[in-house]
Structure 1
C-alpha cells in the first residue's frame, strides 16, 4: 500500500508572526488617527449642529475640572495644587474630543495613570475608589465614546486593551486597595466603545448607500437617455427613409418625365438616385444594429398628432378623466402634411409619456391636453390636477426618466420644454416645437388682355 503524502507542517513561528503583525497594526492605530482633524458634524448644513460638539465639550470641561478638584481634595486628601494639576490633565483634554479624540485619549490616559499613582501615596480611606475615582471613570467614558464615533475598529480595540492592561497592572501593584474600579471601567468602556462603533459604522453604511444610490441613479438616467436616443433614431429612420425614397424615385423617373434633357443632366439625375440609394442602404445597415434584438414591431408606421385623440380616449377608458383640445389649424396642417414628421412624432410621444406619468403618479387626476400652433411653433401642453386616489408606494417617488426622454426629443427637434409642479399639487408639461415657415400664397398675375377680334364689316 502506498502511503498518502503528508501535509507540510506550518512554520513554528507562524503564531508569533501573526501576533507581531497584529501588535504593529494596533500600535499604528493608536498612534495615527484615521481621520483628518475635522470637527464632528462639520459637514452638517445647519449651523447649530456644527456648533453642538463645541458646546458639548465646553460644558463637559466646565463641569469635570471643578468636580475633579473638589473630589481629590475633599475625599482623597490631595493638596490643592496637585489636585488642580491632575484635574486639568484629566479633564481639560475633553476640549479636543470634537476634532482630535485620539490625541485627547493619550493625554487623559497618561493623566489618569499618574493620578492613580498619586492616590496610591495617599492614606487609604474607607469608601474611596481606586485606581479610578468616579470623575475619572465618567470623563474617560466620554473620551471612549468620542473614539468609538470617530476611529476605526482597530484603534478602538487597541484603546480598550490599553485601558484593561493599565487597570490590571495597577491592580497587581496594590491589590489590597483595588476594589473593582479597574474592572468596572473595563466593562463600561467596552459597552461605550461598542455603542460608538455601531453608530459610526451605521452612519458610514448609510453614507455609502446614499453614494451608491446617487451613482446608480446617474447610471440609470444615462441608460434611459441612451435608450431614448436609440428609439428616436429608429423612429427618425422611417421619416428620413420616406424622403430619400421620394428623391430616388424622382431622380430615376426625371429623364422619362422631362423631355429634351442633355446627357449631362441625365448623368446628374442618375448620380442623385445612386447617392440616395446608397444612403438608404447605409441607414438600413445602421438600423439593423439598433434593432439588434430582432424586434419587428418598430417597422410599423409611426404615430403622429392624428392619433392623439385615440391616445386620450384610451387613457379615459383606463380611468383617467382627460380631455383634448386641438386647434383647427393644427388639424388642417396635419391633414395636409405640413407638420414635419419628426415634430409630429415627437408631439405624439410627449403627450403619450405625459399621460403615462399622470396615470402612474396622479391616478384619477383631471388632465387637459392642448395642442396649438402659432408664431412658427407647435405648442403641446399637458396639465393635470392633484391625485384624487392613493398613489402606490412603488410610484410615490418618480425617477424623472420620462422627462429625460421628453427633453431629448425636444432638443433634437430644436424646441424647448418646460415642466414643473403646480401650486394645487398638479403638474405641467409644456413643449414648443418649431414649425417650418409657411409660404405666403402667391398672387396670380391678371391675364393679359387678348387683342380684340375685328368686327365684321357691315354690308
Structure 2
C-alpha cells in the first residue's frame, strides 16, 4: 500500500448565470479593443459597407446600387467575377480528373454552375433558377461517372461554395416568402438525389441545406432592416411635411385673427366715425358730407373684402382651428402629457400673472409646446424643467425650458441642434419677435439643450420695432 495521501479535491465554484447581460464596462472595453485593432482608415469603409448592405435596392438594379461610394457600387461585380474566375476552372478540373467526367460535358456543367453568378448581381432569383437546375443536372451526370464513388455527392465542394455565394445575393434582394421557398427547394433537391442514388449519397446535401439557411437568414435580416430604415425615413419625411403644413395653418390662423382684431376693428371705427360725422359736426358743408359718405362707403367695402379674405385664410383649416387658441392656463396640461410620453418633466409656473397680452399668452404656450416636442423627439428620457414666471420688475415674462442629455442607451437620434429641419426654432423666434421679446437657444455643456424666451407683459415695454408695427 502506498502512504501517499489522496490529493484534496479542487473547490467547486458556483457557475455564473448564463443569461447575465454584459456590463457597460465590458461593452466599452470591446469598443476600445475594436478601435485599437481596426485602423481608423478601415472603420469608415466598413461602416459604409454595412450601411450599403442594409439598404435595399429595387428589382433589376445592381446590388449596392444606392451606395454613396463608387467602389461600393462596383464591389458586387468584382466579387462575382472573382467567384466565377476561381470556381470555373476548378470545377472543370475536378469534374474531369476526379470524377472522370467527359471534358466537354464538364466544361458545360462548370459554366452553367458558375457563370450565372454574374447575373446574380442584378437578378439573383433568375440566376438561382439556372444554377439550381445545373447543380441538379450535374448530380445526375455524376451518377454515371466512374470516379464518383467515395467522393462528395450530390454536391461537389465547388457547388457548395458557389451556391452559398448565390444565397448571399438572393437573401439581400428577395422577400422572406421567396427565401423560404428557395431554402425548401434546396433541401428537396438534396433529398431527391438521395432517393435516386442512396448508395452514393453523402451528408454534403445536409450541410448545404443548413449553411444556405444560415446565409439566407442573415442576409434576409439585413434586407428587412434596410426596409425598416427606409420606411422610417419615409415616415419621418411625411411627418415633417405634416408638421410644416400644421405650422402653415397655425400662421394662417394667427394672421386671420390679427386681421380681424386689428384691421377690421379699425375699419369699423372709421365707418362709424364717417357715418356719424354729419350729426356730430354742426354746419358741415355739403362737400364734406359727401366726402364722409364716400369714406364710409369705402370702409364698408373694405370690411366686406376683409371678411372674404378671412374666409380664404381659414378655408384650408379645420373647424378646430376656429376654436380659441391655447394659452398659459393650459401649460400644465401640456407638461402632464409630456410626462405620460416618458419624459420626466417638472414645472415652475407662476400662480398669478395678471392680464397677459393675447400674443404673449399664445406665444408662451407654443414655445413650451415646441420645446417639449423637441425633447421627446431628440432627447427621449431626458430630465426636463419648465419655468414660466415674470421677472422681478413684473414687466417681462420669462419662459425657460431646459433638458438634460438623453437617458436612453443606444439612442441614435441626433441632438436637437443638428437634427430635424430647424422649423421649430425658427417658429419660436418669429413668435417672440412678434411680441417684441428675445429668444436664446443653444446646447448645454452636459449634452442638454436650453430654450429661454423673454416677452413683454405690458405694451409699453415692447421693443421699438414692436411699437412701430
TM class by shorter-chain length?
A: 0.5 to 0.7
**Matched length:** 347
Residue of structure 2 in register with 1:402 after alignment:
424
**Residue 218 of structure 2 corresponds to residue 182 of structure 1:** no
Query: What's the CA shift for 1:151?
Result: 1.8
Superposition pairs for residues 54-65 of structure 1, below 5 Å? 54-65=77-88
The separation in 2 between residues aligned to 1:72 and 1:389, in whole angstroms, is 68
**Residue 164 of structure 2 corresponds to residue 141 of structure 1:** yes
Per-residue Cα deviation, 1:240-283 (whole angstroms, up to 9, x for no partner) = 14532442354134325655444464255246436646866996
Query: What's the CA shift for 1:207?
Result: 0.8
Per-residue Cα deviation, 1:109-149 (whole angstroms, up to 9, x for no partner) = 12212211221112355641111011101211221221121
Per-residue Cα deviation, 1:47-106 (whole angstroms, up to 9, x for no partner) = 121111111111111221122223223432334443333221111111111101122112
Q: In 2 relative to 1, CA 270–95 (structure 1 residues): closer, same or farther, beyond 3 Å? A: same
Superposition pairs for residues 95-134 of structure 1, below 5 Å? 95-123=118-146, 127-134=150-157
Per-residue Cα deviation, 1:13-58 (whole angstroms, up to 9, x for no partner) = xxxxxxxxxxxxxxxxxxxxx9642111112222121111111111
The separation in 2 between residues aligned to 1:262 and 1:187, in whole angstroms, is 107
Superposition pairs for residues 213-292 of structure 1, below 5 Å? 213-256=236-279, 260-263=283-286, 265-266=288-289, 268-270=291-293, 272-273=295-296, 276=299
Residue of structure 2 in register with 1:429 after alignment:
none
Residue of structure 2 in register with 1:336 after alignment:
none
The separation in 1 between residues aligned to 2:81 and 2:69, in whole angstroms, is 20
The separation in 1 between residues aligned to 2:245 and 2:218, in whole angstroms, is 41
Q: In 2 relative to 1, CA 237–166 (structure 1 residues): closer, same or farther, beyond 3 Å? A: same
TM-score, normalisation: structure 2:
0.56
1:97 alignment partner, SS class: helix
The separation in 1 between residues aligned to 2:171 and 2:217, in whole angstroms, is 7
The separation in 1 between residues aligned to 2:224 and 2:88, in whole angstroms, is 32
The separation in 1 between residues aligned to 2:84 and 2:140, in whole angstroms, is 23
Q: In 2 relative to 1, CA 75–389 (structure 1 residues): closer, same or farther, beyond 3 Å? A: same
Moved more, 268-277 or 88-97: 268-277
Gap regions ≥5 residues in structure 2: 1-56, 328-346, 348-357, 376-383, 385-401, 435-441, 443-448, 450-463
**Residue 246 of structure 2 corresponds to residue 205 of structure 1:** no
Per-residue Cα deviation, 1:149-194 (whole angstroms, up to 9, x for no partner) = 1123333233233323322222111111112222322232222222
Per-residue Cα deviation, 1:194-215 (whole angstroms, up to 9, x for no partner) = 2222222221121111111111
TM-score, normalisation: structure 1:
0.57
Query: What's the CA shift for 1:232?
Result: 2.8
2:132 alignment partner, SS class: helix
The separation in 2 between residues aligned to 1:151 and 1:294, in whole angstroms, is 47
Larger gyration radius, structure 1 or structure 2: 1
The separation in 2 between residues aligned to 1:284 and 1:105, in whole angstroms, is 69
2:121 alignment partner, SS class: coil
2:219 is aligned, of 180, 192, 196, to: 196
Superposition pairs for residues 359-398 of structure 1, below 5 Å? 396-397=415-416
2:160 alignment partner, SS class: helix
Q: In 2 relative to 1, CA 275–434 (structure 1 residues): closer, same or farther, beyond 3 Å? A: same
Query: What's the CA shift for 1:401?
Result: 2.7
The separation in 1 between residues aligned to 2:152 and 2:113, in whole angstroms, is 16
Query: What's the CA shift for 1:352?
Result: 12
The separation in 2 between residues aligned to 1:173 and 1:409, in whole angstroms, is 81
Residue of structure 2 in register with 1:89 after alignment:
112
